[in-house]
A = this chain, B = another copy of it.
């Protein structure tokens, strides 16, 4: 057997940049398939635009324009009325993977990784070789424009054509030319993305112009910005030893005790005393920069033995029941809706999150099928619609685990939409493309509770409607059995099918011709009493 030496093998050893990695594995960023790739671009730029506006304290006005270009290409432009990007940051912000303002801050935002915008640029470069065109306000009636490219070999931005312009334009506009994408309609489209964004962001106005020039305007239905969540302090109950060490080693505090109080939520001097009592061997006067793994582990273990107040709810800002109702009314106009508002919970010991659920029935809820309707799940993470990868998403898992029959809801045949939004300082997405949420136990459990709560509200509504049809349906079922049974008997015995059917129908109808008429009357009588929500 010919063996190859290790030295020989390792001649091929190379290091690569994050940009090279994602260039090769673009599907991990959501660039798989022409239809999804287009939505991914809209998704990334739109969610950045919303974050920017909110961070700037401005009610968002977002315009998404998708135009056909030559050679099966598209030009996509997303512009906002936010604060813009200072010149010296534009390259890093739009053309460097793993860079940004969001990654290290423990704060509820749509973006959290510093990958999305650079991924869009990478995809334009891969498919058309072109940089993106950027225009940004810089205040006082001034703006600039430039082209931004990304050097994949070293993950660095390349800025060209930087021009100062006198322009009252306020905000940021990014525009790119892409191939290997396609504008589609349906459940996984840019239109659906915009519609769902409007659902979860009633304070934003969104205009989508499709490649035929048709404009879709989702008007602002709430004239107030959501409360801006402050950057959170991490909660001690959710800390790992490694995290604690990272914080300690960059701390400016002189003692462990003051480091803990300064850095973490709910950590008062009383708590320091409690920690001392739980484990007297921890030296609270030590310099945090010199904290060892062993000491840090002792601290983490002590944290777990203490009763902490839950994380401050102000770190996490849900959409809110009233706003969800306005948005659902505006977009789905359902016959009935039930919205649950629940308290913040924590996962991984200390990361706060809030689950909001609405179940909407009738109107434009659910999904239109060739015949009738089916139910659908509208998933959101920090108000960002998640359109893809539902098969591996914790939200879908939680919703599908529910025994819907118990709530008189049939997801196969009814016009029902299950709206689920998770708000958190950190959403544990299962992939870099951020389309599915990792099925953490605490999150799954909380979604189920919230969904069941909302489902009960819709159940009461449906029950009222369904009672009237109950007996009529029962009769239909029995009639179906008669047909099936007589067919089966006839198949097996070659006896005349119609004769058998008649005989069986005789037995059935002798017993309830009366109840059948009653059902019909009851159904007609009650249906006129229904009131839409």
Interface residue ranges, A against B (CB under 8 Å): 1-7, 9-10, 12-18, 20-21, 23-25, 27-28, 32-33, 52, 55-59, 83-86, 89, 92-93, 96, 98-101, 103-105, 113-114, 125-129, 138-139, 225, 240-242, 245, 293, 296-297, 389, 391-392, 426, 428-432, 436, 438-441, 471, 474-475, 477-478, 481-482, 484-485, 488-489, 491-493, 495, 500, 503-504, 507-508, 511-512, 515
Contacts and interface: CB of A to CB of B under 8 A. Distances in A.
Contacts of A12: 101, 105
21 contacts: A2-B57, A6-B56, A7-B86, A9-B83, A10-B85, A10-B89, A10-B101, A13-B93, A14-B104, A17-B98, A20-B103, A21-B113, A28-B432, A32-B428, A32-B430, A129-B293, A129-B297, A391-B392, A474-B491, A481-B488, A489-B512
Contacts of A225: 1
A389 B500 CA distance: 51
Nearest to A301: B71
A239 to B, nearest CB: 12
Contacts of A241: 127-129
A355 to B, nearest CB: 18
A10 to B, nearest CB: 5
Contact of A25 (B83, B429, B474, B477): B429
Nearest to A436: B392
Contacts of A240: 126-127
Rank and list the top 7 A-B pairs by shortest CB-CB distance, nearest first.
A391-B391, A129-B293, A392-B392, A493-B511, A6-B83, A3-B57, A15-B99
Nearest to A240: B126
A23 to B, nearest CB: 8
Best-buried of A9, A33, A242 by chain B (most CB within 10 Å)? A9
A336 B98 CA distance: 51
Contacts of A56: 3-6, 9
A460 B293 CA distance: 63
Contacts of A392: 389, 391-392, 436
A470 to B, nearest CB: 11
Contact of A13 (B89, B391, B477): B89
How many chain copies does the complex carry?
A: 2
A478 B33 CA distance: 48
Contacts of A431: 28, 430-432
Best-buried of A32, A441, A515 by chain B (most CB within 10 Å)? A32
A432 B93 CA distance: 23
B6 A86 contact: yes
Contacts of A5: 56, 83, 139
Given A495-B511, A511-B495, A512-B493, A485 B482 contact: yes
Contacts of A507: 489, 500, 503-504
A289 B86 CA distance: 35
A474 B488 CA distance: 8
Nearest to A242: B126
A391 to B, nearest CB: 3
B485 A481 contact: yes
A474 B484 CA distance: 12
A508 B481 contact: no
Contact of A485 (B14, B59, B441, B485): B485
Contacts of A58: 1, 3
Contact of A24 (B7, B24, B103, B511): B103
B3 A101 contact: no
Given A10-B85, A391-B391, A489 B511 contact: yes
B4 A55 contact: yes
Contacts of A485: 478, 481-482, 485, 504
A25 B491 CA distance: 61
A93 B13 CA distance: 8
Contacts of A1: 57-59, 225
A33 B441 CA distance: 9
Contacts of A482: 485
Contact of A4 (B83, B85, B436): B83
B98 A20 contact: yes
Given A92-B13, A485-B482, A429 B28 contact: yes
A284 B491 CA distance: 74
A27 B515 CA distance: 58
A39 to B, nearest CB: 15
Nearest to A297: B129
A309 to B, nearest CB: 25
Contacts of A492: 471, 474-475, 478, 511-512, 515
B500 A489 contact: no
